[in-house]
Amino acid sequence: MSYNPFCSIDISFGDMQTLKEAAKEKKKKIIVCDAYTADVWGLTDIIEEQIEEKNAVWIDECKANPTPAEVVKALEKVGDFEAEGILAIGGGSTIDISKAVSAFCYMYRGKVVTEEDILENLKSGEYKKPHRFIDITAVPSTAGTGSEMTQFATIWDMKNQAKYSVDTSFNYAKKAYIIPELTLTLPKRQTLSTGLDALSHAVEAYWAKPTTYVVKDVALRAIDMIMKYLPEVMKNPGDIKLRTAMSRAALLSGMAFAKTRTTACHSIGYPITMKYGLEHGFACALTLDAVSKINREKTELADDLFEVFDKYGGLRRWIDDTCGDIVKLRLKYFGIPKEGIDDIVAGTFTKGRMDNNPVDISPEQVKEILLSIYDEEPENEVFVKIARAS
């Protein structure tokens, strides 16, 4: 069964056979899938056969948090190949690099492209002008980043400590195949970080400035499902029913924040990932409880949101219990020094994210939040102080 809620993406749930049939499709395509995972999923022979038949080009190296250099490398791999579609199989970074290829491939066709070209294009937004984009079929392997449901792709300029988005409606996937079986191979830490990313997306969509009642309803369902099923998946990672429930929840989360974008938690999380390499999901979830307390008074239907949190013992307790012995969501645990907090604060105010928060949060408040999650259990008085200042 296929359906088109909120957007024009053709969404289908399937299995490994669905994926193999998509890879075998007789049309010229760019396949974006890490070589190791392609081997794990039994796709290598299929992809190589497609290459031999001149039906495919394979981008087989997909690093986390793609940079302009990786975009250039991907475009060079594609070269003059006349692609009709892109098959993106993997996590959020894989789908992000696919969106970048879709946006830039025909803009730079037949030209030598540099990292500087990509950066200038991202800054100017030239890629948003109507031109030929390549249709994307997205197959997420996590539950999840929600990238299969959004028009955004994040590109990280590590050299200059900056983050950019390829952000255009031309970059929505045409199709999304949700195959929960793919998530069975995820290590526990990645299951946890991507699950917390999905939670952050849903919670931030609930209170973001452009939110609507429909978005809130979808987001709240996603939050409830994630808080119910993520702890169970962490205990039983091989249970396909639980993995399917998380895939469903992540899909709903993606639908919600695709309409609102994210807010303060993501904005604070970006420099933490940039400077210290912390997984995106952990970086965002670090401040989720603190920001929820700050935003409560300015969030319509906040009681409904906190009722779900309270159902699972409160957001902070739930996060700590769910993380268990995998990680401790405190800055000190991840090797982030107190002296580094000011640098994090300086890089926090991402346009379109921090100003999308329902409450204006000052640099001083961000520092208070980060200090409160440095090591010990956050003190309620800290959040009362921050909330009053808001």
pLDDT, greater one: 161 or 47: 47
> Which range has the top average pLDDT, 134-148, 218-232, 343-357?
218-232
Q: Compute the average pLDDT of residues 228-250.
A: 98
Q: Is the confidence at residue 307, as pLDDT, over 70?
A: yes
Q: What is the DSSP string of 173-194?
A: -SEEEE-GGGGGG--HHHHHHH
Residues β-bridged to residue 29: 56, 85
For 58-112, how does the pLDDT look when each residue is reduced to its tens digit (9 = 90+)? 999 999 899 999 999 999 999 999 999 999 999 999 999 999 999 999 999 989 9
Phi, psi of 258 (to 5 degrees): -60, -25
DSSP secondary-structure letter at 139? E
Segment 335-369, tens digit of pLDDT: 999 999 999 999 999 888 999 999 999 999 999 99
pLDDT at residue number 6: 64
Q: How does strand 10-13 pair with strand 175-178?
A: parallel
Confidence tier at 377 by pLDDT (50, 70, 90): low
pLDDT mean across residues, the chain: 93
- Cβ atoms of 209 and 358 closer than 8 Å: yes
| Pick from 4-8, 9-13, 45-49, 293-297: least confident | 4-8
For the chain, give every residue range classified as CATH 3.40.50.1970.
10-181
Give the model's confidence band at 295: pLDDT under 50 very low, under 70 low, under 90 confident, else very high: very high
Residue 287 is encoded by which pair of tokens? 């401040």
Domain with CATH 1.20.1090.10 in the chain: 186-389
Which residues, 6+ apart, have CB-to-CB distance to 299 below 8 Å? 206, 207, 305, 358
Q: Could you tell me if 173 and 101 are in contact, meaning their C-beta atoms sit under 8 angstroms apart?
A: no
Mean pLDDT on 203-210: 98
Mention every residue, 6+ apart, whose C-beta is less than 8 A from residue 339.
none
Q: Give me the pLDDT at residue 231, please.
A: 98
Q: What is the pLDDT of residue 389?
A: 47
User: Which pLDDT band holds residue 5 (cuts at 50, 70, 90)?
Assistant: low
Contacts of residue 71, defined as CB under 8 A and 6 or more positions apart, other chains included, come to 97, 100, 101, 104, 115, 118, 155
Q: What percent of the chain has pLDDT over 70?
A: 94
pLDDT tier for residue 390 given thresholds of 50, 70 and 90: very low
How would you label 104-125 residue by residue, b for 16+ Cβ within 10 Å and e otherwise?
bbebbeeeebebebbbebbeee
**Residue-wise over 32-62: b if at least 16 C-beta within 10 A, else e?**
bbbeebbeebebbebbeebeeeebbbbbbeb
pLDDT at 8: 77
In this predicted structure, the answer to whether residue 385 has a pLDDT above a threshold of 70 is: no
The topology (CATH level 3) of 186-389 is: Dehydroquinate synthase-like, alpha domain (1.20.1090)
Q: Is the pLDDT of residue 43 over 80?
A: yes
For the record, the structure tokens of 289 come out as 């409880």
Predicted confidence band of residue 376 (pLDDT cuts 50, 70, 90): low
Q: Is 386's pLDDT higher than 80?
A: no
Class of domain 10-181 as given by CATH: alpha beta
Structural Rg of the chain based on CA atoms? 20
Question: Could you give the 3-state DSSP secondary structure of residue 237?
Answer: coil
Number of H helices, E strands in the chain: 17, 8
